[in-house]
Amino acid sequence: MRDASPQQTPQAIHLRDYTPFPFHVAHVGLTFWLAPQATRVRSEIRFEPKGPKSDLRLDGEALKLVSAAIDDVPLDLALDDTGVTVPAASLPDRPFTWTAEVEINPSENTALEGLYMSKGMYCTQCEAEGFRKITLYPDRPDVMAPFDVTIHADPSGSTPVLLSNGNPTGDGTWHDPWPKPAYLFALVAGELVAVEDSFTTRSGRDVALKIWVRPGDEGKCAYAMDALKRSMRWDETEYGREYDLDIFQIVAVDDFNMGAMENKGLNIFNSKYVLASPETATDRDYELIEGIIAHEYFHNWTGNRITCRDWFQLCLKEGLTVFRDQQFSGDMRSHAVKRIEDVLQLRARQFREDAGPLAHPVRPESYIEINNFYTATVYEKGAEVIGMLRTLIGPEAYRKGCDLYFDRHDGQACTIEDWIKVFEDATGTDLNQFALWYRQAGTPRVDVSEAWSAKEGGGTYTLTFRQETPRTPGQADKDPQVIPLRTGLLARDGRELIPEQVLELTERTQSFRFTDLPERPIPSLNRGFSAPIVLTRADSTEDRLIRFAHDSDPFNRFEAGRTLSKTVLIKMLTDGSEAPAAYLDALHAVATDDTLDPAFRALALALPSEDDLAQTLAEGDQTPDPVAIHTTRRALLRAVAAHMEPVLDPLYDAMAVPGPYTPEAQAAGKRALRSTALRLLSERDGGARAKAQFAAADNMTEQLSAFSSLLGIGQGAAATDAFYAQWSADRLVMDKWFSLQVSLAAPEDAVTTCKRLTEHADFDWKNPNRFRSTLGALAMNPAGFHDPSGDGYTLFADWLIRLDALNPQTTARMSTAFETWRRYDENRQTRIRIELERIAGTPGLSRDTTEMVGRILRA
């Protein structure tokens, strides 16, 4: 399958080069004759010229052209590498119908893009540019058309269920009346069974809901179905958006490059984000299912009805839809806990990206392979930008702007400028400077200094902020951005001295004055993480302890504890000191405070991750040593366990959830805190309680938490075997088995464990979930991956090279494991560079991986 010809330098595409497509597409008719090695696709496309005569360029890749005609007059066309051009001279200057027949080979499609097969089932993935692997078409999101699709079953008889977008018409055709871009096309065929339900929209229309799975999995769809119905209702009440077809379908497939896909009326999901039962799925899995079901459903309005003009506008749909799914999950569970989780994720993925060679703006201005821009920056920072907008203009104005967006742009392919304009028009606010968030890459640094002048009858407190955004690839100088900081001022006893307010930074340096204060306040800044920035303030341990004990903003309370933990850990790392008693007492106090939500307490007790510490050190221009970080973090874990020993056992018992497992947030929170207690207890009891919990567990959350504790203290051997014996037939559970063994292996064992597991009979490297569970887990074990021998890098690179020949998209994504390489010492940098250059020099390397490795190396 590899291209033997020498690598061509891939061409960059630029936002500034956008030109509209010269034809309107009035209708698309598709007929499929399915067969694993030779599927026939007949297309009938109605084109209407928009202006003067122009060539007709159609995209096409890996297609065998059987025939083509315009208005039934056969054309003799030769395909090039990326499609076909019909010269203007052979086109009429009035509307015409293009018909073509092509042949494709789904059974050899290992890239999982276009029409491919997963366990005998046919399915599609067209975003971003996969439709061109199905037929010749203007495969760009600003070409929107209604589709009619007819599917003829595979003659082998293995495809009794035939699905596509839209409503079934009764005569075997799927009719999708809503004009859509080709990236939202979907087709599914196979031996599937449906779990069915229905939803009545607020205007009284009945919608059939179907979740399609392989026979045997019907019992694992109830939670996804429930989440879907809650999402549909929420979009009606919170955004005024109603569903618009007679049927909404979801299909679960095992081989999938990403999480899920919002194809119109026919979402396709990685099965791990649909299937759940108490025995096989953890609380975290349930939470992810709820969030991703919501995300894909919400795309029906933010993405599908209003789509992107071009792929540079990806954050228009993704940032907004992530923001919406975060709001939804907060409403369903706890806003405080959800916000802390989202920020942890943002820092772990997006701040990491912003700090390295792959940094790019929320709206990039050029790309080589668009698949490489489905990033944390586009998704998560894109959501943060919307959150800031809402904070700045307020919730009512935000809703008003959204209503205007839907009114004004329904059925259109839009830009970020369109999005910003509706808020300017709805509120009269000038958002020109705010729009910099879309154009400037990098995480702004905001340094805070303060002054206090005590006077009789009330003192004056001044906060001075200085903002600066570090240089990023291609962007040396940055202008000051609009930074909304939700701010409170605390007294030493924790009282709020002023009503909370939003400080709006717009200048490079800016001061805010607070007068008539009874005492020098402790500032609580950037509450709720109202802006995605790195905030530095030379605050005292005492200040932090007060905020950790009293801040009324739960995020900042968490944040104070996190900053304390990091400071303690970094001090332990540098001078070998021990954890101070005041810090341990503070953790103890939060752990045992029964007025606090257990889920919050679990988050507050968790130590910062090893990668978070490495990143924090790098932010302060220090060189992190991943092995030392691992050892020190474990030492702190032990110190916490020793200090809290007397309360851990009662806490562990108190957090037991009686009765049968339910996934709701309250019970999940208790289990999370119990699991934290178990991990600490395991440092004291050699794993006795964890072994008992492992044996007794009747749900995967508790089984896995016990398994993790045992692996964490190096006592996991028996549990590893027992877990395998119990679960070897369940693919999704086995992914967890692969992943935990590698990610929790001791630093010196991680590479050999990973390597051994790649030789395991159940290591199916062509399945992206299993590949990520095994190799991705190595990158999630920083001390193991960064073993000074470089063995981790070599193993990882070997597998990237191997996977690239089959699946460029997943390979390119996983190459980001190397994006932090400049943080490390010279030995590690040299060894990583050797591997990156080896990957880059592989003959026939995909465009996806070539672009990623090139960008990582060039920094």
CA angle 652, 655, 661 (to 5 degrees): 120
Give which of ligand TRP, Zn ion, none residue 260 binds (C-beta under 5 to 8 Å, depending on kind): ligand TRP
How would you write 368-405 as a 3-class SS string?
CCHHHHCCHHHHHHHHHHHHHHHHHHCHHHHHHHHHHH
List the one residue from 135, 159, 249, 257 that touches ligand TRP (CB under 6 A). Answer: 257
329 close to 284: Cβ distance less than 8 angstroms: no
853 close to 13: Cβ distance less than 8 angstroms: no
Residues 6+ apart with CB under 8 A from 95: 26, 46, 47, 48, 49
Which residue, 267 or 774, has its beta carbon nearer to ligand TRP? Answer: 267
Binding-site string for Zn ion from residue 309 to residue 348, where x marks contact by CB under 5 A and - marks none? ---------x--x---------------------------
Count H helices and E strands in the chain, helices first: 29, 30
139 close to 132: Cβ distance less than 8 angstroms: yes
Closest-CA residue to 98 (of 64, 58, 63, 132) = 58
Closest-CA residue to 62 (of 130, 167, 133) = 133
For residues 406 and 302, give the distance between their C-alpha atoms in angstroms, rounded to a whole number. Answer: 9
Of 7-15, 258-266, 580-588, 754-762, the segment contacting ligand TRP by CB under 6 A is 258-266
Give which of ligand TRP, Zn ion, none residue 258 binds (C-beta under 5 to 8 Å, depending on kind): ligand TRP
CB of 146 to Zn ion, least distance (A): 23
State both tokens at 21: 């497509």
Asked if 814 interacts with ligand TRP (CB under 6 A), we say no
Give which of ligand TRP, Zn ion, none residue 539 binds (C-beta under 5 to 8 Å, depending on kind): none
For residues 189 and 39, give the distance between their C-alpha atoms in angstroms, rounded to a whole number. Answer: 12
For residues 701 and 45, give the distance between their C-alpha atoms in angstroms, rounded to a whole number. Answer: 51
CB of 810 to ligand TRP, least distance (A): 9
Which residue, 295 or 305, has its beta carbon nearer to ligand TRP? Answer: 295
Residue the block writes with tokens 């407190």: 461
For residue 331, what is the enclosing H or E element?
helix 314-332
* Total residues at interface with ligand TRP (CB under 6 A): 12
State both tokens at 403: 């209503």
CB of 321 to Zn ion, least distance (A): 5
409 close to 403: Cβ distance less than 8 angstroms: no
CB of 245 to ligand TRP, least distance (A): 18
Catalytic residue selected from 61, 113, 262, 296: 296
- Rounded to 5 degrees, φ, ψ at 450 are -145, 155
CB of 267 to ligand TRP, least distance (A): 9
List the one residue from 262, 285, 611, 612 that touches ligand TRP (CB under 6 A). Answer: 262
List the one residue from 13, 26, 193, 258 that touches ligand TRP (CB under 6 A). Answer: 258
The one-letter amino acid at 312? F
Of 154-162, 252-260, 744-752, 823-831, the segment contacting ligand TRP by CB under 6 A is 252-260
3-class DSSP state of 122: strand
For residue 198, what is the enclosing H or E element?
strand 193-200
Which residue, 258 or 498, has its beta carbon nearer to ligand TRP? Answer: 258
List the one residue from 127, 139, 148, 559 that touches ligand TRP (CB under 6 A). Answer: 127
CB of 343 to ligand TRP, least distance (A): 20
450 assigned to active site? no
Which residue, 258 or 805, has its beta carbon nearer to ligand TRP? Answer: 258
Residue nearest to ligand TRP (CB): 258
Which residue, 271 or 743, has its beta carbon nearer to Zn ion? Answer: 271
Give which of ligand TRP, Zn ion, none residue 440 binds (C-beta under 5 to 8 Å, depending on kind): none
Footprint on residues 410-429 left by ligand TRP (CB under 6 A): none
Asked if 559 interacts with ligand TRP (CB under 6 A), we say no
Q: How many CB atoms lie within 10 A of CB 274?
A: 29
Footprint on residues 338-377 left by ligand TRP (CB under 6 A): 374
Which residue, 263 or 556, has its beta carbon nearer to ligand TRP? Answer: 263
For residues 812 and 167, give the distance between their C-alpha atoms in angstroms, rounded to a whole number. Answer: 36
Asked if 260 interacts with ligand TRP (CB under 6 A), we say yes
Which residue, 125 or 530, has its beta carbon nearer to ligand TRP? Answer: 125
Of 121-129, 210-218, 231-239, 398-406, the segment contacting ligand TRP by CB under 6 A is 121-129
Of 212-220, 234-242, 254-262, 625-633, the segment contacting ligand TRP by CB under 6 A is 254-262
3-class DSSP state of 33: strand
List the one residue from 61, 296, 612, 819 that touches ligand TRP (CB under 6 A). Answer: 296
Residues 6+ apart with CB under 8 A from 126: 113, 114, 134, 182, 183, 184, 185, 186, 263
For residues 489 and 497, give the distance between their C-alpha atoms in angstroms, rounded to a whole number. Answer: 5
Query: Which residues of the shown chain bind Zn ion in the complex (CB under 5 A)?
Result: 318, 321
Active-site residues, by number, are 296
Query: Which residues of the shown chain bind ligand TRP in the complex (CB under 6 A)?
Result: 125, 127-128, 257-258, 260-262, 295-296, 318, 374
